[in-house]
Structure 1
């Protein structure tokens, strides 16, 4: 795709997005369609196409399908889940990041993006009263953030080098995890992927206000 075509399609898509964002309050939160209805609308019953579609037509059709068959978490009457509404500046930020497509796995791969990430971590630390000389990184969401912390706790409390010897490489005593009975399902995922197994979790009951019973924990 040459620059001129990209410019035309990009402007057209931004116009579609702006119209969509403006129309969200007038749309239903969801059409409550069945999976089969969604598949029919997306025309997913056919085989792998042998040839592609014109980029302009593809973008326009895909945008309209997403607008018409999605649950709108940016709707003023959407009260479910924790998903934030899309912020226009965030949409443009994603657009910009996708254009550069930085890989922040190493500083040399993405110098500017890595420094932006580091500064963001320092600002967050300052906001919550944490030492600004701390380390940190941005992850994809809450599940992954908890998973990273789970691995850090495993390394800190195991008493041996888990990375080198594995979870069974210590004294023979299995590692245990203690959590409130109300803990989100991220903990089962972390125990599974972290090699401890879900039977390592010790669920601590809660009181009538869903607070962990600390006496039982002790």
Structure 2
């Protein structure tokens, strides 16, 4: 008999073919299925709650079981009718890059562990800095999301601002350290408060700045800054989309050496579109910035990006080696972000930017903003109130006399399967929030959304005008 050597990787190929078939079927039905899963689909998930198999299973059977029970129980965020949480779908090129990344299985730690990952990070960093108009010397870190982006940027800010007072926080810790002056909008996002707690700065030790009716910081309410101040600004209020006057704040901060940070999970992308760039004028004067790839750029989860004007401070805060950067020395990614073991997150961002090009990114931002204005105009004509100034992709909706019924309206629309969005509370008013972030969404999807809202309003006896 002849012995034939079997390539064990062929098993991966067999499973990938099965997975691609299941994924193709899933994507093919997104436009016609309910956005939210049915009660039966959620109930059927209990069939996955079994004892762990005692023997090895056919991996194709494993994937088929996961597809059969899991696909119907998803929320269709990849489709064009999801308007919650400022979440877009995954661009075609990024679906492909994610599959390729899984096959490559790269450890994106250093040049030695993955040359391709390092080259992709260098190129993508250069593209992003150019696209946003940020200083070329900035460090760029690819992390799991804006929460971790805020974490490493504010860690760098903490390091830099305490160093001015002769305190090395990396070796001395925070016990007995000089105080820092933390300033933030009264609309500070909950994840930024969480990060302040994680860094030992204390979410309660923040001097809050009042905001205007759209949620942007009032510059005349900014307190006196010092060389020990860290000012937390926001590009893209999670409800209204408002952007703080970052340029004006940064100009004041520079006079005394205060650090300005920009939390721009989705709003930073306004800088990448010619129609919206004026909304974020002067943001490039800040010291650090964060954004998500998995929001407006439409990469798969999870992907966040952190930029810092002061690479040395970032290196000091994050490094696993000697904390210095000499001329010509390029720090490995592991020394500029928290994770030692990390995936090739930049690959999805590279794929998105390469496939879209500068013009495609511009068009994506414009299209989402146009859909927001389209929905706002239609709802206003029906008698709903639009509580925010619709300058980006966010719409906050209330009703002049039936606010208390809006939660039921949201439940009704979501139950219909026509759309998915959530309730909110804005400036003392109850309402719901619509976020337009997906490359998949078309005018016809927005029309379906408006029709579904009108139908549910009629069924709930919510007063509306004829659409």
Q: Bin the TM-score by the shorter chain.
A: 0.7 to 0.9
Partner Cα separation in structure 2 for residue 146 and residue 46 of structure 1: 39
CA distances 1:68-99 after superposition (whole Å, capped 9, x unpaired):
00101122211111222022321221121122
Match of 1:14 in 2: 20
Greater strand fraction, Structure 1 or Structure 2: 2
Unmatched runs of 5 consecutive residues or more in structure 1: none
Aligned length: 214
Does 1:161 pair with 2:168? yes
**1:193 to 1:49, Cα distance in 2 relative to 1, 3 A:** same
Give runs of aligned pairs for residues 1-218 of structure 1, distance below 5 A.
Answer: 2-31=8-37, 33=39, 38=42, 40-158=44-162, 159=164, 160-171=167-178, 174-218=179-223
Residues 1:123 and 1:2: Cα distance change in structure 2 (over 3 Å): same
Report how far residue 119 of structure 1 moved: 1.2
Q: As a proportion of its length, which structure holds more helix?
A: 1
Higher relative contact order (CA 8 A, sep 6+): 2
Name the Cα RMSD after superposition: 2.2
Cα offset, 1:123, TM superposition: 0.9
- Which shifted more, 113-122 or 137-146? 137-146
Query: Once structures 1 and 2 are overlaid, which stretch shifts more, 122-131 or 160-169?
Result: 160-169
Distance (whole Å) between structure 1 residues aligned to residue 173 and residue 99 of structure 2: 40
CA distance in 2, matches of 1:215, 1:134: 30
Per-residue deviation, 1:191: 0.9
The question of whether the paired residues in 2 share the 8 Å contact of 1:39 and 1:45 is answered with no
The 1:47/1:12 distance shift into structure 2, 3 A limit, reads closer
Gaps of 5+ in 2: 1-6, 224-467
Please identify runs of 4+ aligned residues in structure 1 that moved more than 6 A. Answer: none
| 3-state SS of 2:213 partner | coil
C-alpha distance in structure 1 between counterparts of 2:202 and 2:99, whole Å = 39
- Name the TM-score, length of structure 2 as normaliser: 0.43
Contact 1:177–1:201, Cα closer than 8 Å, also in 2: yes
